[in-house]
Each structure stands twice: as structure tokens, then as C-alpha cells.
Amino acid sequence: MARPTAADVLGSVTLVIGSEEFLAERAVEQVTTAVRKADHDADLTEIAASDVGPGALAELTSPSLFASSRAVVVRAVQDIPEESVSSLLSYAENPAGDIALVLVHGGGQKGKSTVDRLRRARVTEVKADKLKRWELAKFVASEVRRLGTSMPDDAAELLVESVGENLRALSAAVEQLASDLDGEPIAAEDVQRYFGGRAEVKGFAVADAALVGDNALALEHLRWVIHNGVAPVLVTSAFASGLRALARFLSAPKGLREGDLARECGVQPWKLKDLRVQSRGWTPAGMATAIHAVARADADVKGATGDADYALERMVIAVGRAKTAR
């Protein structure tokens, strides 16, 4: 959500819904910060919905003796007792002007009927859904804009590959880069300098080299991975991700526009150039062989064999041979 002001949240109900904890916490923090910014003495109350018994909501939203405004956060609203739902809905239809009520729902089916009725009461809804892999670079870009700087698409994608898929870690990485670079645009070289030694980057480096057919470089990267104790599952995961995107690229309908093709493949548009290079020489039979080799290696490194290093090396060689097989 856009950063709200006190005028946006006082006298209204905000429903934060979704299972992504980082996004949910940020939405709650933005509401409470807006209230506190307008009134430093504002009350802040948090309560679990399971503790909201009959009459509790009226008490929580009654005028305070010591503050002119109040923020009330009700956690896990899907667990609110049935006998308290009607009072919650009544309040949502006519909220107090000096109260900012935040309802946090973890997503899923539990409490869905209550959520639907709250929506009909025209509460302000903030989504906090888990992001898909292809959405993470967009999240990074939004974090960069929030800090008043800029970052090209390739740098955003590299940061995701470097730091991983945890939103809190990605946000912290963006803040570090923006702070250290004094607000200057963040380039891919900056990301590489700060995070290039991270395990995820090396896992994708092995996969990218193998998929393009450069087995010597892939094995060189793999030796770095093994020497530095990178978890083998990160390498098999990178191969699985790369093959999945490549398979979607090869099977995509002809004539799609760049944006549509990127969505079809589950990647950022700039990644299409890499996929076009990687796709040369692959056949359906070769793709099937490579996918089987990665699945076997993934099972091996997760305990099916005692020699994970050998399993990874065999996978790299098998993928290289699959690309050139006719």
C-alpha cells in the first residue's frame, strides 16, 4: 500500500490479508506510524482475535482518557469467536473517527465469510500474499523506488539470485546498497560487488553455463561451489529453475510480445535474451533427459546417495550431453 497518513487510517478499518509476514507487518507498521506521527501520545493496542470476546471490541474502540486518537491491531482475525463477528461488522460499517482499526488475516479459507462481509462494509484492504518467483524483481524495484533511487532490471534480478527469496532480506539488501551508494543508481556491478559471493549466485552460475553448453565453465563454477561448502540442494534448485524457464520458453506460442513471453516463462523481460541463447541446440528429448538428470541429482543430494559432490558433477555432465544429443 502507498504510505498512508493519519487522515487515511483514522475513522476507517484496514484489513491486511495474506500469509507473507513481512508485507503484513509493514502494512500494520505503516498504519500505526501514521497515527503516531499525527499524535505522539496516541494509544497503540494489539490483541489476538481469539481474545476478542463479547464487549471487548467496544472497549477497545471506546475513547481514551489519555489520548485523542488510538490504533488498534487485531491479529489473526480468522480466529475471532463467532459471537463477536456481528459487533465487528457493525463497527466496520460505522467506525469511530479517532480510531484506526487494523485487522490482520493470515489468508486461506478460515474466516473467509467474515472477510467477505468486511469487504462489503468497504474496509480498506491491503494484500500481503506470498510473491511468486517472477514477482520478486518487481518487489526489489518497488523497494528501490521507495528509497528514492533507481536500479535496472538486470541488477534487480541479480539481487534476487544473490540474496534469495526472503522479502525481509531483500529489503535489507536494498537499504544497504542505497545507503552505501548515497542514493546513486544501483547497478548490477554494485550488486555483484556486495553480494556476488553468495551461494545462490554461484548455483545459478553453474546452471547458466551448463544450459548454454559451456561444460568447462560449468564445472569450474561447480568446483568453487564444492570447495566453499555451498549446500548442494542450492545447485540442483538453480538447475531446476533454469530448466523450467527454458522449457516454458521453448514451448511458448510463437509471436508473443516480450512482456507476454516473459510472463509465460515466469521471468523478467531482460532474461529473455539469456533464454534465447540457452535455447539453441535443445530438443524435446534433450530437455526430458536433462530434467531427469536434475531430478535424480536432487534426490541424491537429499540423501539417496552418500556422495553429493559426485552427484552434482554427474548432473552437470549429463545436462551438457543432453543439450548436444541428437
Please tell me the number of Cα atoms within 13 Å of 212 on its side-chain side. 16
For residues 111-115, give the mean pLDDT. Answer: 94
CATH 3.40.50.300 placement within the chain: 6-127
Identity of the residue numbered 256: L
- pLDDT at 22 > cutoff 80: yes
CA distance 211 to 323: 7
Weakest mean pLDDT among 55-64, 106-115, 134-143, 174-183: 55-64
CATH 1.10.8.60 placement within the chain: 133-195
Provide the mean pLDDT of the chain. Answer: 88
- What would you measure as the largest C-alpha separation in the chain, in angstroms? 81
pLDDT of residue 210: 92
CATH 1.20.272.10 placement within the chain: 199-324
- Angle (CA) 200 204 205, round 5°: 115
Give me the percent of the chain exceeding a pLDDT of 70.
Answer: 94
State the CATH architecture for 199-324: Up-down Bundle (1.20)
Weakest mean pLDDT among 14-18, 70-74, 277-281, 322-326: 322-326
Q: Which three cell numbers stand for residue 36?
A: 503516531
pLDDT of residue 124: 95
pLDDT of residue 199: 54
Q: How confident is the model at residue 60 (pLDDT cuts 50, 70, 90)?
A: confident
For residues 50-56, give the mean pLDDT. Answer: 88
Residues 6+ positions from 121 with CB-CB distance below 8 Å: 13, 89, 92, 93
For residues 69-73, give the mean pLDDT. Answer: 92
- pLDDT at 200 > cutoff 60: no
Task: Quickly tell me which residue has 526430458 as its cell.
Answer: 288
Q: Is 107 left (phi over 0), alpha (psi -120 to 50) or beta?
A: left
State the CATH architecture for 133-195: Orthogonal Bundle (1.10)
| Greater model confidence, 231 or 151 | 151
CATH topology for the 6-127 domain: Rossmann fold (3.40.50)
Helix (H) or strand (E) segment spanning residue 72: strand 70-75
